[in-house]
Amino acid sequence: MTTPHTPRGALIAIEGLDRAGKSTQCDLLLKRLNSSGIPATLQKFPDRTTAIGTTINSYLTSTSHLDDQSIHLLFSANRWERRDSLLSTLTSGTTILLDRYIYSGIVFTAAKPKSPVQPPNPLSIQWCKAPDIGLPRPDIIIFLNITQEDAEKRAGFGDERYEKKEMQEKVRRLFEELRGEGSNDKGDWWVIDAGGTVEEVAEEVWKGVLEGLRRVKEGNGEVRSIE
């Protein structure tokens, strides 16, 4: 007789530019999943609650300086320190919503101005992705797409380090590049128009979630790795 086993949870990443509504949508989604009887939890990155997260927080709020490579590796380490708990949560049957993940990690570093003292193009997409290889790979990446105009209509930026217009424009282009032709995870992306009302966007997000859950059901039960 075979022992019945709990099907694993889905790993669902929510990505997008600042002000696309990621955190609002994650909160709504968490409630909707739980009230639909689907156990789910939220993991935000950067996770500012850990020792590494505290260092990241002081960097983002500009109370400390770090070179671009070091802070990049700390963002990645902040995901690695959560790896075991992500995997055990999934195995226990709980779905995880990631509010940002490696994709923000790649594009925000790659969007930085190149330093004249560094070797040529050290912060390419390839360089930026390397430390995240081997982390759990999302079953679906829901990308909240918002136009520059819509982004500008929403409430103003805060004063954290990356909340600048030029940076956001580069981030937008790099996200496009990341999900574009030739990427090895093209099929993982689920792009939605995040320019509508909170309720309209939530409906589109929900469709992406159902697709993510479907992929898990049809898969072999294993969590894939970033490659």
DSSP state letters, 125-181: HHHHHGGGTTSBPPSEEEEEE--HHHHHHSSPP-SSTT-SHHHHHHHHHHHHHHHST
Residue placing its CB nearer to ligand FDM in the complex, 171 or 213: 171
Residue placing its CB nearer to ligand FDM in the complex, 47 or 211: 47
142 contacts 215 by C-beta, under 8 angstroms? no
In the bound complex, which residue of the shown chain has the CB atom lying closest to ligand FDM?
A: 105
Cis omega (within 30 of 0) on the bond before 46? yes
CB of residue 202 to ligand FDM, shortest distance in Å: 19
CB of residue 103 to ligand FDM, shortest distance in Å: 9
Task: Give residue 15's Cα distance to chain centre.
Answer: 5
Tokens, residue 84 = 């075991």
Binding site for ligand FDM (CB under 6 A): 45-46, 60, 75, 100, 104-105, 108, 162
Task: Give residue 224's Cα distance to chain centre.
Answer: 16
Residue placing its CB nearer to ligand FDM in the complex, 33 or 106: 106
Helices 51-60, 68-80: inter-axial angle, 10-degree rounding? 140
CB of residue 26 to ligand FDM, shortest distance in Å: 10
Among residues 100, 99, 52, 101, the alpha carbon closest in space to that of 78 is found at: 52
Residue 188 identity: D
CB of residue 105 to ligand FDM, shortest distance in Å: 3
| Residue 44 CB-half CA count within 13 A | 12
Residue placing its CB nearer to ligand FDM in the complex, 75 or 190: 75
Residue placing its CB nearer to ligand FDM in the complex, 151 or 213: 151
Residue placing its CB nearer to ligand FDM in the complex, 130 or 210: 130
CB of residue 109 to ligand FDM, shortest distance in Å: 6
CB of residue 185 to ligand FDM, shortest distance in Å: 16
